[in-house]
Amino acid sequence: MSLHTESERLLVLIPAYNEEAVIHEVVSSVRQAVPHADVLVVDDGSIDSTAQEAEVAGALVVRHPFNLGIGGAVQTGLKFAKQEDYDIVVRLDGDGQHNPSDIPSLHSLLQSGHIDVVIGSRFLCATERMHIPPVRRLGIYVFALVVSFLTGSRATDTTSGFLAMNRRAVKALAAYMPQDYPEVESRIVLHKAGLTTLELPAQMRARLSGVSSINSWRSIYYALKVSVAVLVSALKDFPALPEEMANANTD
């Protein structure tokens, strides 16, 4: 299947915070993997030269004056995509964990018109190379069980930041994107908005630079906080998608 049509517009969204050591390589790898795509880096209030390095690598850059967190950074990118009328948005992290060469696999499934969001899952790979601390792995497993139960669809990697979205999903999350640590709660939002999701195997690597802000103790706090947020989202009523959103597609 062809990766894109003549008229299709693809945006690769990269939220980043203090990633000056690696963002140039990430942007360059994306441009090599999908040369027809536009690349947007949302610099979430970095105090280093993340924005400058991204621009040198050829990315469009939107800068927050201060740090809003991953949810706010992604929502900014999605609002940009909606405003600029992109057909497909692929999100990946700015720390080099995701392999841009997997973008075509995620993207191609959206062209069928039957799936709204395709999510890269490290746990569907035959060989998982990325080391995940036991406490975090347990949290991800619990989140997967909760999301699978609440949505009625199997979920394995509910904290994945590697996904592709069509217009319907972009518009829904641009309006209702959860803040703070949004990946798990977003699954519930998408489900309640009537959108379909599918996981696809995707190899993920260790960060190319820096360290995660979520250590073992923060993982426990994170698990409790996200569990409450997911339950609240499951009980919340989201407005029905506007007619123009429901009829939008990726043709």
pLDDT at 3 over 50: no
pTM for this entry: 0.85
**CATH classification of the domain holding 188:** 3.90.550.10
| pLDDT recorded at residue 239 | 61
Task: Provide the mean pLDDT of the chain.
Answer: 85
| pLDDT recorded at residue 209 | 55
Number of domains in the chain: 1
* Of 156, 176, 167, the residue nearest 233 (C-alpha): 176
Q: Is residue 126 a part of any domain in this protein?
A: yes
Q: Is residue 4 a part of any domain in this protein?
A: no
Average pLDDT over residues 182-190: 90
169 compared with 209, residue with greater pLDDT: 169
The string of DSSP letters for 30-84 reads HHHH-TTSEEEEEE-S-SSSHHHHHHHTT-EEEE-SS---HHHHHHHHHHHHHHT
Quote the domain boundaries for residue 160. 10-247
pLDDT digits (tens, 9 = 90+) for 226-249: 777 777 777 677 665 555 444 555
Q: Is residue 5 a part of any domain in this protein?
A: no
The string of DSSP letters for 105-147 reads HHHHHHTTSS-SEEEEEGGGSSS--S---HHHHHHHHHHHHHH
What percent of the chain is predicted at pLDDT more than 70? 80
| pLDDT recorded at residue 207 | 55
